[in-house]
Amino acid sequence: MLMKNAASEKSLFRTPHMAVDIAGVRFKNPVLTASGTFGYGLEFADLMDLNSLGGIVVKGLSMKPIKGNPPPRIYETASGMLNAIGWQNIGATEFAAKKLPALRNYDTNIIVNIVGFELNEYLEVTRFLNDCPGIKALELNISCPNVSKGGFHYNKDPRDTFTITAETKKASPRLPLWVKLSPNVTDIREFARACEDAGADALSVVNTFMGMAIDIEKQRPRLRFRTGGLSGPAIKPIALRLVWEACQAVKIPVIGIGGIASAGDALEFLIAGARAVQVGTANFYRPDASQSVALGLQEYCRLRHIDDINELIGSLRTYE
């Protein structure tokens, strides 16, 4: 008994192994920030410790700057938010010149989310970023519901998903390619398999859910774009189910996204099979949410004598 207590006391003071591997890239812990909810990362440098993160996924980049949709383009809902920002971004050239050099000073992995209205635009920005030192992976966004061309249009038919994934993979020989999937489909497993067959290195699951809100006084949509993408705690159970389904369907790593705001939320996704998670909307109301998720995961492992976070991944049990 004495020996057992001594052993468990020892593991209570040991720092658990928190690193995960995604397509040959080491992440110091499985917590990343989600694209579009954390700017280019640097905006949060005074609000939290960027070095505490496994990675930062920056706002979707196109080759040339894009203004995005006109306001109103954000609306708070019950336990969530609707957004129709569109693809507002500074463009890949300015990102590489002005943001990436500063981001490289942090001990965290930089992932770039890529967008395009046509296939050629996706390929052009992919080729450009493939040659930029300091980027660890690309995340192909084919799931944005807030644009009238491109984006989600490549996530409506698994054959189109296959084509864009295969072409983008060819254009990024140096960097692993993650494909970010839409929840707005009948069976996410078909799209997950299409990506895997086309050579994707990992999947990010999921983007926002198409939604709508109406101002009953003015009798018009709350968003100028009319519909928007719903995110935040409201979507968590549905996102978790989709992540679990995707994990069953493919062998490549799945990164879980959707309503994650606490270590407990992140653990649910890891247990369901996600190799890592991304924190999104929570960053808007608690700028250091991702850091506290990372710390909370470590504390959970330490208190339960789990030596390696990888032991938890996919550890979901069934009823007897």
Mask for 138-177, x = binds ligand FMN (CB under 6 A): ---x--x---------------------------------
Segment interacting with ligand FMN (CB under 6 A) among 21-29, 102-110, 276-284, 302-310 = 276-284
| Residue 301 falls in the annotated catalytic set | no
- Contact partners, residue 304, CB within 8 Å, separation at least 6: none
Residue 82 CA to residue 258 CA, distance in Å, equals 13
Residue 236 CA to residue 268 CA, distance in Å, equals 10
Among 16, 30, 60, 228, binds ligand FMN (CB under 6 A): 60
The answer to whether residue 85 forms part of the interface with ligand FMN (CB under 6 A) is: yes
Task: Give the count of residues interacting with ligand FMN (CB under 6 A).
Answer: 25
- Contact partners, residue 50, CB within 8 Å, separation at least 6: 41, 44, 56, 106, 108
Residue 17 CA to residue 270 CA, distance in Å, equals 15
Segment interacting with ligand FMN (CB under 6 A) among 17-25, 120-128, 246-254, 279-287 = 279-287
The answer to whether residue 292 forms part of the interface with ligand FMN (CB under 6 A) is: no
252 three-state secondary structure: coil
109 three-state secondary structure: strand
| Shortest spacing between CB 246 and ligand FMN, in angstroms | 14
3-state helix, strand, coil in the chain (%, to 5): 40, 20, 40
Give the active site residues.
Answer: 144
- What residues make contact with ligand FMN under the rule CB under 6 A? 34-37, 59-60, 81, 83, 85, 113, 141, 144, 180, 207-208, 231-232, 235, 257-260, 279-281
